[in-house]
Amino acid sequence: MKQFIDFTDKVCLVTGAGSENGIGFKTAEILGLLGGRVIIVSTTERILERERELKKQGIRVKGKIADLMDRSQVKSLIQDIIAVYGKIDVLVNNAGMIQTGVAGEEEADIEDVTDESWDRDIERNLGITFNVTRAVIGHMKSAGYGRIVNTSSVTGPVVSNPGSASYSAAKAAIVGMSKSVAIEAGGYGVTINNVLPGWIQTASQLEAEYQGGLNTPMKRSGTAEEVASMIVFLCSEKASYITGQEFIVDGGNTIQEYKGAPEYYY
C-alpha cells in the first residue's frame, strides 16, 4: 500500500529552519523523510549545520543563507532554486518572530511603541511572508500546482497579550492576506493555509510561556513536531480541497472560557 502522504519528486522550500529544535527544522525533516527535496533557509551559517544533520538521515537537502526582509535576496534565492530544480511545489513560510542576532519583539503599550519597533515587527513577520509568497506563487500557478503554508500564531488572529500590538497585527494580517491569495490562486491548483501555534516548547520559549502551557487543557506545551505534523499535512496532495483556512495547534488553550486559578474551577 502506498504511504498516505508522499513528497517524492516534490521540491519543498522551508524558511526559518535554523533552530535545531524549531518548527521550521522539524517540518523540513518530516518533508525530507517523506521523500521531498528540501531547501532550508535562515539568516546565519547555522543553516549549514541543519543541512548536515538532515543529510545524515538520507534527506536530499540544501541549506541557503538569506535575509528574507531584503527583497533583492528573496528574488535571487527563488531564481537560484528555479534554476537548479525547475520548480517549487511547497513553500512553508516559517521565518519571523525571532531572528538570530537581532532584537526580538519589544513589549510596550501602544502609545510607547517606537516607529522602529513597529516597522521591524511588521516587516519580520508579515513582510517576509509577503516577500517570499509573491516571489514563489507565479511559478506555482504556471506549474498548475502548489502548497503554501504560513506559520502564523494564535496571537493576533484569535487572542492577544498586552504589549503585543505589532506582533498581533502582523500575524493577523498574514491570515487576511492568505484569504485573498487563496481566491486568486485556487483555480491554478495552488492552496494557501495558516497554522496557528499556541504555547510551543522550542529554544526561544520563555518561562512565562512554559507556565502558560501548563495551564492548557493538555497541561503542557506543544512540541515542534506536533506543529510540523499539521504543516506537513497541509503541504501534501491530500489537502487538495483546503485553502484560505486557519488551523489552531494549541492544546485547546483558546477554547477555555475560564482564565482564573484552576483550583476555583478546573
Would residue 62 count as lying in a domain?
Answer: yes
What is the spatial distance between Cα 114 and Cα 121, in angstroms, rounded to a whole number?
A: 11
Would residue 265 count as lying in a domain?
Answer: no
Q: Residue 216 is part of a domain; what is its CATH number? A: 3.40.50.720
Residue positions annotated with a catalytic role: 167
Q: Which residue has the higher pLDDT, 228 or 214?
A: 228
In the predicted structure, residue 101 carries a pLDDT above the cut 50? no
Cα separations in angstroms, 44 against 23, 28, 78, 94: 17, 17, 18, 15
- The confidence band for 261, taking pLDDT boundaries of 50, 70 and 90, is confident
Contact call for residues 53 and 63 (beta carbons, < 8 A): no
In the predicted structure, residue 2 carries a pLDDT above the cut 90? no
Region of 188 on the Ramachandran plot (φ > 0 left; ψ -120 to 50 alpha; else beta): alpha
Q: Which domain holds residue 31?
A: 11-252
Would residue 5 count as lying in a domain?
Answer: no
**Type of residue numbered 190:** V
Would residue 210 count as lying in a domain?
Answer: yes
Return the SS3 of 256. coil
Would residue 260 count as lying in a domain?
Answer: no
Q: How many structural domains comprise the chain?
A: 1
In the predicted structure, residue 103 carries a pLDDT above the cut 60? no
Whole-model pTM: value is 0.94
Read off the pLDDT of residues 37-73 as tens digits, 9 standing for 90 and up.
999 999 999 999 999 999 999 999 999 999 999 999 9
Contact call for residues 226 and 260 (beta carbons, < 8 A): no
Would residue 109 count as lying in a domain?
Answer: yes
Cα separations in angstroms, 200 against 103, 124, 226, 251: 20, 20, 9, 10
For residue 34, count other CB atoms closer than 10 A to its CB.
19
- The confidence band for 204, taking pLDDT boundaries of 50, 70 and 90, is confident
Read off the pLDDT of residues 112-142 as tens digits, 9 standing for 90 and up.
999 999 999 999 999 999 999 999 999 999 9
Would residue 44 count as lying in a domain?
Answer: yes
Would residue 2 count as lying in a domain?
Answer: no
Contact call for residues 229 and 247 (beta carbons, < 8 A): no
Beta strand extents in 9-164 (DSSP E only): 11-15, 37-42, 61-65, 90-93, 146-151
Q: Once rounded to an integer, what is the mean pLDDT over residues 18-31? A: 97
